[in-house]
Amino acid sequence: MDCLFCKIIAGEIPSKKVYEDDLIYAFEDINPEAPVHFLIVPKKHIKNAEELSGKDKDLIGHVFLTAAKILKEKGVTNGFRIVNNCKEDGGQTVDHLHFHVLAGRSLQWPPG
Contact residues toward Zn ion (CB under 5 A) are: 3, 5-6, 45, 96
Cβ distance 32 to 107 under 8 Å? no
Binding of residue 27 to ligand 5GP (CB under 6 A): yes
Alpha-carbon distance of 8 to 15, in angstroms, equals 6
- Considering only 34, 59, 94, 107, the residue that binds ligand 5GP (CB under 6 A) is 94
Q: Residue 1 or 55: which CB sits closer to ligand 5GP?
A: 1
With CA atoms as reference, report the closest residue to 47 among 16, 89, 101, 84.
84
What span, in angstroms and rounded, lies between the C-alpha atoms of 18 and 92? 22
The distance of closest approach from Cβ of residue 12 to ligand 5GP in the complex, given in angstroms and rounded to an integer, is: 11
Among positions 53, 77, 78, 93, the unique one binding ligand 5GP when judged by CB under 6 A: 93
